[in-house]
Amino acid sequence: MFKVKDGDVLAKRLGAIVVGLFEDDKKPDGIVREIDKKLDGYLVELLAEKQLSSGFKKVYKIHTFGKLESKVIYFVGLGKKAELTFERVREAFAVVSKNLTKDEQVEVAVALDTFLTEEKNNQVFAKALAEAFVLTSYRTETYKQKQAEQKSLEKVVVYTSLDEDAVEEALIVGESFGAGTNFARALVNAPGNYMTPTDLAVKAKEIADRYGMEYSVLEKEEMEKLGMGALLAVAKGSDQPPKMIVLKYRGKEKWENVLSFVGKGLTFDAGGISIKPAANMHEMKMDMGGAASVLGAMEVIGALKPDVNVMAVIPSSENLINGSALKPGDVITSLSGRTIEVRNTDAEGRLILADAVTYAKQLGADYIVDVATLTGAVIVALAGITTGAITNDEDLMEDVLVAAGEAGEYLWRLPNFDPYKEMLRSSDVADLNNSPGREGGSITAGLFIGEFAEDTPWVHLDIAGTAWSKSESVFGPKGGTGAMVRTLATLARNF
């Protein structure tokens, strides 16, 4: 989709050209000045009359009427140079990409140098370009008999005076990050009857086959032999068989220093006997958002091949109701041997993750990052804007925070003080209580998982608010967002 070239973009016969405008530039300069000359001063006139703006994310389409080789030029406002960041330039590219798609442009040239500043690491803006164009290309799959056809961008030629190899590498990274995020979005948006635990295992195997990763899956009988009582307890309420899915990417000769991503794969969550309200329950197909993020990250890792060992562990089940379903007050025994009193069957994600974290350690995980749509409480605390995090290891937490910053994803650390941990031990009949109450709900839920990480460096990411958007965003339609795919992939590349 992306190609890098040096030379005069105005001399090329292309469908459209994309040019950036800064507020700081009071007079046209560089390529903008050249365009103005060819258009007989028309740009200066438009700027003076405020019919063309360099305000952040403002997009204007100018027809060239045969005075340039390209038929149309899209100008996108970038605001002030001092305020330009990776995230802001990525948003600007996203806005113009949406305009190009709406106008059914299939081939476009981007004058990358018009988006650059002297103070910034400019190659990273090429990554932002590719990421934004790929993210905005995503369309939610529908199952309607008649579907509207829409053309999409097929070719983006990036013109720049920067080192071509460096820009090309940045474009490849950005394109991979966007593709991995879109992969996760598609998994989350799939209806529950199209995305069962078995279907999720098939999607994981597709990644393994595509990139030569090791793949394995534990079936119910094997889980019973191993004693995965927590995952099996949740699965009892469903006719769909549970799966424990494992992918291994070997970036080093020896299987050591293993970074493990553990993703909650609850393919539909009705809450079990502690049933959820009917309103908006259809959205609970998104409760496997953690698994989707992990698989999206593995897609990126497979494409970019970093020098690191990464293992994905995904416990997958449904949380429904039948005559065998888990009941409030039941006591179950996890793979670790710890017993758990179930006070709320809708606090099931932490149960399946408990066995997954223990299993990841048995498979050699040296570092664990779990990702889960875990609690409604995190939405109350942080809205649908920021992912909540909790940890038992300062160094790993810092690595994750740095990765999130580089990826442009918001992340906020929650406390892990001992009094919160004591709340988990409030059961009279078991080692742990899976739902000690509403107060500090996101914290206690995360720390419940941490009980099974024990001394292994561990970070928990609660994406209940960020994995799903109820409205369209600058990067795509409502629904699955692919939250934390880019953070996990960045963490792996930096590890």
DSSP 369: E
Element (H, E) at 248: strand 243-250
| CA distances (Å), origin 165, targets 5, 75, 133, 259 | 10, 26, 20, 30
Catalytic annotation present for 225: no
Instruction: Extract the tokens encoding 110.
Output: 């981007």
Distance of CA 454 to the CA centre of its chain: 27
**CA distances (Å), 124 to each of 94, 156, 196, 304, in order?**
15, 17, 38, 16
276: annotated active-site residue: yes
Indicate the DSSP class of residue 398: H
Query: What SS3 state is found at 68?
Result: coil
CA-to-CA distance for 211 and 209, rounded, in angstroms?
6
| Tokens of residue 373, six digits | 């749509």
* CA 395, chain centre distance (Å): 22
Whole-angstrom distance, CA of residue 170 vs CA of residue 116? 14
Residue with tokens 């908006």: 280
Reading the block at residue 264, the tokens are: 């909650």
Exposed/middle/buried for residue 322 (C-beta within 10 Å: 0-12, 13-18, 19+): exposed
Spot the catalytic one: 33, 71, 88, 276: 276
Q: Is 286 helix (H, G, I), strand (E, B) or coil?
A: helix
Rounded Cα distance between 263 and 291, Å, is 4
DSSP at 415: P
CA distance 279 to 276: 8
Grouping H, G, I as helix, E, B as strand and the rest as coil, residue 490 is helix
With left for phi above 0 and alpha for psi between -120 and 50, is residue 138 left, alpha or beta? beta
Q: What residues contact 144, with CB distance under 8 A and at least 6 apart?
A: none
Bridge-based pairing state of the strands 16-21 and 72-77? parallel
114 near 21, Cβ under 8 Å?
A: yes
Q: By the 8 A CB rule, do 206 and 276 touch?
A: no
Residues taking part in catalysis: 276, 350
